[in-house]
Structure 1
Amino acid sequence: MERRIVLVAVDARWRDPNGTFFSFSYGIEKLRASIVSAPDLADTQILLLDLASGDAEQFFEAVRAFQPTMVGLSTYVWSLNIFAELTRRLREDQPDLVIVAGGPSARRSVLDLPQYHPLRDRVDAVIPGEGEAVIRELVRHHQAPDWRKRVAGLQFPTRGLWRSSEVAERPAINEYPSPYQLDLGPLHKTGYIETFRGCPIHCAFCQWGEQKSDRVHDAAYLEAHLEGLRRANVPNVFFLDAAFNLSPRAFRALVAAEDQVGVLAGSVVHGHLYPTFLEDHHLEFFDRIKQVQASIGIQSFDVDVLERLGRPFDVARFEKVLQRIRGRLNFDIELIFGLPGDNPESFRRTVERSLELGDTVKAFKCLVLPDALLERAADLSIEYDPVTFQILSCEGWTADDLAREWEWLYDLAAQCDRPILNDDWVGFAITTQTGEVASGAEPRRERGAEPAEPVPAVSVRPEHRALGRLRDAIAQQAVGWGLSAVRGEPGGVFFDLLGPQGAVVLEVVRFEQGARYFAERDGLAYSHRGPVDRVSSPGLRQVIDVVHPEALNLVAAPRHRTWTT
């Protein structure tokens, strides 16, 4: 019988104000590569849907037109509600269709939440572990009446009465080719690379959980992968590893592969760095790369908080490491806002210490993820939003604390250089937009020097909040469009956009009878400069829907000002 497989993911669209990060779902690309590389599955028809859309109808129509025999869902926290609606439509249209859910949020602890019972009750099976081997077996056997008995590594959520098939062995990762080795990776998008799997550090807040880090890709595998990245003409490379330097064997294999290929020497490389294990040979390798953007996940400078959550940290060693990498690597200090057991006073001290030590800071709201804090929620008095999985209150933080301190952090970011302002994370350089050091931080100085005079706080700019809200709304409602700046001038209002085909300036003026415009709303006329065709023009109209309320206010009170990041 013909096997027709649909693999579905929702692209989270990383909100990158520089427009340099071009994301896609690497997870389902890995699953497709696993299927097509199996000789006995070469005749399988596969449709891969990786949409930056919250519209379940868009997925449904594409799936139905393909007439699949099986659908696989790559499930993350942001796709749960979309998949709930998609599975409803699929069950109504094809009741006997085999539907399987995998991915980080395909977990019993998630699907047993009342919010997701409809999704749970519509899927036939869940893959709670790694998928490369399991997906091959599902493709082979899903049309057999007894497929549930034939395939290991599955859980069956029959209206909350969970059963399991045989336990599947962990895949030998070197035996499964990467999408880039098979020339399946998207062209001209951010490239991904995995050198090892798992993490040796089991932090309570992290979904790596208890995964061992004992499986490593060898040099030959990585050499073929790097050659594939070159053929895909990727603009930058993102490392999926828990950190560049957490597996000595994997790092040696990477160095050997790069010695043969040399593709990273001309690339911008992003990844995480664990400071405790940094050695000279790591830095020597990074010196060979065009540009390294390393993220150092400190999370908190409160040692007691980190120890309770299973995160080892040596402050003195960290400061020495920073001295070694400063000037050789670009690095961000990453923090988690609202960690259970932390508190507002401790978090402010963490931010102030980060401002003293770092060049750039990113702070993310704490998420209650499966295999992590979701299983520990009761022990840590965690209340959370089951849609966003953000903490509403927990040990050390009341709801009022979280709201007040996030506003403080958001305002601090808005004062600084290169602010990135989102509802769930903020990023910023430590200097203010007037060139001063951010309020609460001291300029870095030589040991023993006299302290600098305190720098007065810069007044908060409310327009930065409006810009952040507009950017997020555009990203969610107008697929493929982004906002970089808003300029209010006497001649009109100008929105600087990045569209699917390049930069576009959207101009808003008062409507004049007889003149030609792209769109007219409530007495305002919209025109554009830049590449917009029949395919992208509906997206631009969605952008107009988002910005129109703000445009009304700006045109009503014209004055020269610019909102930008």
Structure 2
Amino acid sequence: MQVVLSAINSKYIHTGLGLRYVGEYAKAQGHEVTLIEETINTPILAVLEKIMAVPAQVYGFSVHIWNKPFVFKLIRMLRKLRPQAAIVIGGPEVAFDAERIFAELPQADYIVQGEGELVFSELLQCLVGGGAVPKHIAYREGEQVNLNGGITVIDDMSLLPFPYPDLEKMLAEHKIVYYECTRGCPFNCAYCLSGISRSVRKRPLELVLRDLDRFIAAGVPLVKFVDRTYNLDEKYFLPMMRHLAQADTNATFHFEIKADILSEHVMDFLATVPKGRFQLEIGIQSTHQPTLKAINRQDNWEKLSANVKRLLSFGNMHIHVDLIAGLPYEDLPTFAKSFDDVYGLGADMLQLGFLKVLPGTQM
């Protein structure tokens, strides 16, 4: 079956990691998949022309907070031009409230609820051979929306294919390489989707090391891990970091970590890594205790601040810290204190984000 998957990114340098996994898995099941990556800054008619150039039977779109208006407008146009095609949408902006989304976008036929690699390929098999719509794909029967099993996750991360068959092209176009070795999070921050399953699923370490070696061999300059809390399991992440520290490469590897759970053993190791090999992003978000309690976030500020300062003293890693403006129970004076607390750490970068209220989260 001929399939088009469309990832509309927020910037040219970004890549649609989720749809890459979905597409490569579908290819392995025998489907012909074309991935089209564009940005919200590309003229919509130019994107439509690219999509229409492939006479597919199925068109799939990943919907995120940054591209929803663009993608919905694109789908409405596509439906008029491809009335017989199946249109499938997935992603965090649509997965958790199918009834509302179908009402908002009646041009869509199916909604993937959750992690889509397996269920999307099962849907393609259904569309080829007939049979019942697979579980975790929402669909309409007349005016009735069938949620059909609700949200799904991938339990076995070894099933995921290598997502970058076009790695050389990506490097030539100076795109960012994103990678994940785990999904899920044991924490339950009220604004975040990652903790919904509560279970952390790991890609087998030998497969991760193989993937990373492919990046190194290709000369990738920067790999950004998208794992929400990379440093949860020392027996898992530390062998990976050691492997990367010992590799013959000029690449930099970016990790999002929780600084207050770094052990002495890990801190001693991080002091030894080659300069520029790692960069660490540390989500702090707020230092106001009523706010942290309200968003279910547990941080040990004393340990966190001491570890950040110690990491900075090593002089071998870029340290990036994050704050969120707009969290509950934080007004301008309390946010100013959070800002002063975090700015006072002296990190290489302080990133100030604004609260985004995401479908499916507690908030």
The normalised TM-score by structure 1 is 0.58
Alignment of 1:52 onto 2:39: yes
For each residue in 1:251-283, what CA deviation from the matched residue of structure 2 results, as whole angstroms up to 9, or x when unmatched?
A: 045246547x826x5222222120121123434
> Are positions 1:357 and 2:345 aligned together?
yes
Checking the alignment, whether the CA contact within 8 Å between 1:5 and 1:68 is kept in structure 2 is yes
Distance in 1 (CA, whole Å) between partners of 2:45 and 2:142 is 25
Cα distance in 2 between the residues matched to 1:160 and 1:297? 43
Identity %: 23
Classify the secondary structure of the residue corresponding to 1:266: coil
The CA RMSD over aligned residues, in Å, is: 2.5
Counterpart AA for 2:170: L
* Aligned partner of residue 212 in structure 1, secondary structure: coil
Conservation of the 8 A alpha-carbon contact between 1:337 and 1:363: yes
- Residue 154 of structure 2 is aligned to residue 154 of structure 1: no
Larger-Rg structure:
1
Question: Which residue of structure 2 aligns with residue 25 of structure 1?
Answer: 16
| Mapped partners of 1:92, 1:24: distance in 2 | 28
Give the unaligned 5+ runs of structure 2: none
> What is the SS of the residue equivalent to 1:23?
coil
Among candidates 332, 335, 338, match of residue 344 of structure 1: 332
Among 266, 273, 283, the alignment partner of 1:297 is 283
Q: Distance in 1 between matches of 2:98 and 2:65?
A: 9
Structure 2 vs 1, CA of residues 336 and 87 (structure 1 numbering), >3 Å: closer, same or farther?
same
**Corresponding position: 1:77 with 2:56:** no
- Counterpart secondary structure, 1:287: coil
Q: Which runs of 5+ in 1 are unaligned?
A: 15-21, 377-565
* Corresponding residue for residue 552 of structure 1: none
8 Å contact from structure 1 (residues 4, 67) kept in 2: yes
Corresponding position: 1:229 with 2:208: no
Whether the 8 Å CA contact 1:195–1:254 is kept in 2: the answer is no
Out of 74, 88, 92, the residue aligned to residue 76 of structure 2 is 88
Pair 1:128-2:113 in alignment = yes
| Residue 185 of structure 2: aligned partner | 199
1:194 touches 1:240 (CA, 8 Å); kept in 2? yes
- Residues 152 and 330 (structure 1 numbering): CA distance in 2 closer, same or farther, change over 3 Å? same
> Which residue of the partner structure matches residue 507 of structure 1?
none
Q: Could you tell me how far apart the structure 1 residues matched to 2:259 and 2:34 are?
A: 42
Amino acid at match of 1:370: P
Instruction: Tell me the CA shift for residue 108 of structure 1.
Output: 4.2
Letter in 2 for 1:107: A
Cα shift at 1:226: 1.0
Matches within 5 A, 1:156-235: 156=139, 161-166=144-149, 170-180=154-164, 182=165, 186-188=169-171, 189-235=175-221
Q: Does the 8 A contact of 2:98 with 2:145 survive in 1?
A: no
1:83-482 residue pairs with structure 2 within 5 A? 83-109=71-97, 112=100, 117-119=103-105, 121-146=106-131, 149-156=132-139, 161-166=144-149, 170-180=154-164, 182=165, 186-188=169-171, 189-255=175-241, 258=244, 262=247, 265-283=249-267, 284-285=269-270, 287-291=272-276, 292-328=278-314, 329-359=317-347, 360-372=349-361, 376=363
Q: Secondary structure at the match of 1:325?
A: helix
- In structure 2, the residue matched to 1:8 is 6
Say which is worse superposed, 82-91 or 137-146, in terms of deviation: 137-146
Structure 1's 324 and 285: CA in aligned 2 closer, same or farther, altered over 3 A? closer
| Matched residue count | 353
Which is bigger in relative contact order (C-alpha 8 A, separation at least 6)? 2
Q: Structure 1 stretch 4-13 or stretch 353-362: which is displaced more?
A: 353-362
How far apart, in 1, do the equivalents of 2:262 and 2:298 lie? 15
User: Counterpart in 2 of 1:490?
Assistant: none
Aligned-partner residue type, residue 273 of structure 1: I
**1:171–1:140 CA distance, 2 compared to 1 (3 A):** farther
**Per the alignment, in what secondary structure is the counterpart of residue 211 of structure 1?**
coil
Q: Is the 8 A contact 1:239 1:269 kept in 2?
A: yes
Deviations 1:149-196 (A, max 9, x none): 24222112568743123465634111222224x565753132222121
